[in-house]
Amino acid sequence: MSMKQEPLSPWEPDADAPEAVVFDRFARSAGASLRSEAPESGLTTIVREGNRKKVQRLATEVGVIAALIVSGIALFEHFTTSGRDVNIAPVDTIPSPTVAAPIVSADDATIDRWIADYTGSPIGRAAGDPVKFGIMMPSLPYSQDLSAAANYLNEHVGGAAGRPIELNICTASLSECADQFAADPAVVAVLENQWMGESIGAALAGRKPLHTTHSSNGTTGVAYYPTYFETVNAMAVQAEKVTAPGDHVLVIDAADERGDSTTGTVFVTPDVTSILANRDVTIVHASREEAITDTIRNAGSIDASAIVLALPPVDEFQIHPFARTACDDLATALDALSLRPAVIASGCEPHEGWYKVDVGLNETAPDLQSGALAITTAMPGLGNVKGSPQNRQNREVGALLAVIRLVNQVGGPAQATPAALDRAMHEFTGPLPLGAGVLNCAPTGKVAERVQPGSCVRFVDVHQFVNDRWIDQPPIDLAE
Amino acid sequence: MSNDTFLPYVYIGGSFEQLYRREYPNLVAVARALTGDRHDGEDLVQDTMVKAFVNWDRIRRYDKPGGWCLRVLTHACRDHWRRRRTRARFLARQRNTEPSVEGPGVEFVAFWQAVRRLPQRPRLVVTLYYAGDRSIADVASIVKVPEGTVKSDLARARVVLMTELGQ
């Protein structure tokens, strides 16, 4: 027999309370009726199962490391035995992600190794003259998180090119900060996240390289910003690959808010129409209020051979408000309408046959495929800053790592002039979509023709979910 | 340990056991509300707690590890729900035999069945608010929508549910 107190009758008339209060009381009782104490035996089961999974994960990691070592030895033997002729130009290779598997939780050594591989800085304490970065981030938690990250890098992974990172945090006006940064020869680059307002890019006017975590129309000069447009363009190329001329392709822009005044799109630029010029393309903006079933019907796209779903990336930690809903709703809609088009998306959970196009640095998560998100989450000292929006700091810390990588790539701080970093960006081919100010990244070919200016990515990876696993597909070459 | 014992939401230095004891009642309520099945709900909560245990070194640093658990759980419930739909006919037969064990009263069963017929977001919002016993701010944070959206979802759901349950 239940020991619970008899609940109130669901809709008991109450002259003193409005209907809403009665409902609220009833609903709370309904909630309480489902609760039960944590079973004592449950904890033991959870710990046992959890430990089993930890062992499994460790075994997998050891297996991967062993495979890498074996591959490394094989590669070494190949090069030592085949010989090389320096007069022969290197063969074009398709780049693969910097580091393959994202790390869910990591110890310091794992974090250090990942950062060293990604940035090119040496493992160990930084020494020598500091390398300065100008920071223009009005919200204190961001600056605090960056400071924590810089401290960690200085202690563990050689700061920037082996020298300690010093953050010059400026809280004055855009123009004052720009002048201050420009006047300091030790400032190598500027990082900002003025994503709600005018970019410091115009004030800097190319006097220092700028990395902004939001691509603003005011971003000018030598500047780098995250981009999602190239991923969407790559999705359009994939749609072209899996359809025939004249086929109907539906492109759904699932941005949170309407963008373009006519199509309502945010992520889908005219480049998509250009890429799919030989297809019957319909581009729509998916509304949160409208079921995707209706979106497909209203767009007259029941006969679509392919559907491109353009929405920001999703992962375990950072969930774009609409993203999961849009993916699930699309799957449900296709079931309801008995449609089987090729589906090309970027941030959805696995669905049989669906294609996934990789994303890189973007507004939501830095360098998702490389594992930077997991690393910045796991870095000691981060995530605990009072008032910091959960996980938001990953984007800014990811930006710092990306800039350090560029600085190392050009040969260190002394060589990291705006012009040198500009060149480094020109040479950037991917696979991580990283936009760059007003640069013209490729003098010829499709990349230069695209409407969205200056995005330097060339190769974007594609996978298809088949029989419960992701199968790598030929990467998209946006310059083809 | 009493349910009333206050455990701060900052788990830095706190134990996994504290998280387990504090969060389990609300997690199981949310899972039962979303799945409509006691045993499935308990299984999903256990899976969620295993994930929390495996990732405890990271999760313990969050301001609200319980929020993380709820987010993981609601995703698991949604996947579970999706899988179940494909077996709808079988489940329809099963549902008839469901209340054989001690459980919520008939009115409450009807209430949660009506909640499960709501569109996805309002369903989640109502469940987290009433079964998960979360504040509007917490629900907004877990569902990743503004607080105003949570309030309007609750208000609209209230109207729909009152109509559907025939008050």
In sign, the C-alpha dihedral spanning B53, B56, B59, B63 is: positive
Residue A157 lies in a domain: yes
Residues in chain A: 480
Structure tokens at B89: 């006919």
What is the CATH classification number for the domain harbouring A341?
Answer: 3.40.50.10660
Angle at A234 between CA A313 and CA A91, to 5 degrees: 115
Q: Which helix (H) or strand (E) holds A40?
A: helix A40-82
Report the chain B residue with the minimal C-alpha distance to residue A350: B79
The span from the CA of A149 to the CA of A393, in Å, is: 10
Banded pLDDT at A183 (limits 50, 70, 90): very high
Average pLDDT over residues A138-166: 85
B93 Cα to chain A: minimum distance (Å): 22
Q: Which of A201-205, A281-285, B127-131 has the lowest mean pLDDT?
A: A201-205
**Alpha-carbon separation of residue A314 from A95, A330, A346, A366 (angstroms):** 23, 15, 8, 12
> How close B74 gets to chain A, by Cα (Å)?
11
Does the pLDDT of residue A479 top 60, yes or no?
Answer: yes
Same domain for A473 and A327: yes
Q: List A462's β-bridge partners, or say none.
A: A357, A473
Q: Which chain B residues touch A54 with a CB distance below 8 Å?
A: 54
Average of per-residue pLDDT values in chain A? 72
A303 and A353, same domain (yes or no)? yes
**A129 plus A159 within the same structural domain:** yes
Distance CA A191, CA A244 (A): 44
Interface test with A, best of B130, B143, B158 (most A CBs within 10 A): B130
Instruction: Identify whether residues A121 and A221 lie together within a single domain.
Output: yes
Note whether B167 contacts A19, CB cutoff 8 Å.
yes
What average pLDDT does the segment B135-156 reach? 88
The residue among A35, A53, A58, A392 with the most chain B CBs within 10 A of its CB, best to mutate, is A35
Q: Is the pLDDT of residue A257 over 70?
A: no
Decide which of A202 and B18 is more confident: B18
Residue A8 is assigned to a structural domain of this protein: no
Name the pTM for this structure: 0.48
Name which residue leads in pLDDT, A256 or B128: B128
Q: Treating both helix axes as pointing N-terminal to C-terminal, what angle do A40-82 and B16-35 enclose, rounded to 10 degrees?
A: 100
Is the residue at A145 inside a domain? yes
Domains, chain B, ordered by start: 16-164 (1.20.140.160)
Q: Which domain holds residue A331?
A: 229-358+466-477
Instruction: Please state at what angle helix B16-35 crosses helix B38-54, rounded to 10 degrees.
Output: 150
Same domain, A216 and A294: no
| Average of per-residue pLDDT across B69-83 | 80
Residues A222 and A260 in one domain: no
Side chain identity at residue B122, one-letter code: P
- The answer, yes or no, to whether residue A427 has pLDDT greater than 50, is yes
Chain A: residue nearest B85 by CA?
A: A332
Q: What is the pLDDT of residues A169-179, one digit of tens each?
A: 988 888 888 89
Per-residue confidence (pLDDT) for residue A127, from 0 to 100 = 94
Nearest to A23 among B57, B120, B162 (CB): B162
Using a CB-CB distance cutoff of 8 angstroms, which residues of chain B are in contact with residue A46? Answer: 20, 46, 49-50, 53
> Based on the domain organization, do A192 and A221 belong to the same domain?
yes
Q: Identify the top-confidence range among A276-280, A434-438, B5-9.
A: A276-280
Number of domains in chain A: 2
Q: Answer yes or no: do A351 and A264 share one domain.
A: yes
Structural domain contains residue A99:
no
In this prediction, residue B92 has a pLDDT band, given cuts at 50, 70 and 90, of: very low
Residues of chain B in contact with residue A61, where contact means CB-CB under 8 angstroms, are none
Q: What is the model's pLDDT at position A256?
A: 62
In a domain, A146, yes or no: yes
Q: Which residue of B has its CA nearest to A391?
A: B62
Task: Inform me whether the pLDDT recorded for A180 exceeds 90.
Answer: yes
Is the pLDDT reported for residue A208 higher than 50?
Answer: yes
State the Cα–Cα distance between residues B40 and B143, nearest whole angstrom. 22
What three-state secondary structure class fits A9? coil
Q: What is the CATH number of the domain that holds A212?
A: 3.40.50.2300
- List A226's β-bridge partners, or say none: A434
Among A223, A232, A234, smallest CA distance to A266 is for A232
Selection from A16, A109, A129 nearest residue A61 by Cα: A109
CB interface of B with A, residues 51-110, below 8 Å: 53-55, 57-58, 61-63, 71-72, 75, 78-79, 82, 102-105, 107-108
A257 and A301, same structural domain? Answer: yes
Answer with the residue of higher pLDDT: A413 or A389.
Answer: A413
SS3 A260: coil
Q: Distance between CA atoms of A94 and A476, rounded to whole angstroms?
A: 10
> In terms of domains, do A198 and A223 share one?
yes
Q: Predicted ipTM?
A: 0.79
Taking CA–CA distances from A320, the nearest residue in chain B reads: B144
Closest CA of chain A from B89, distance in Å = 16
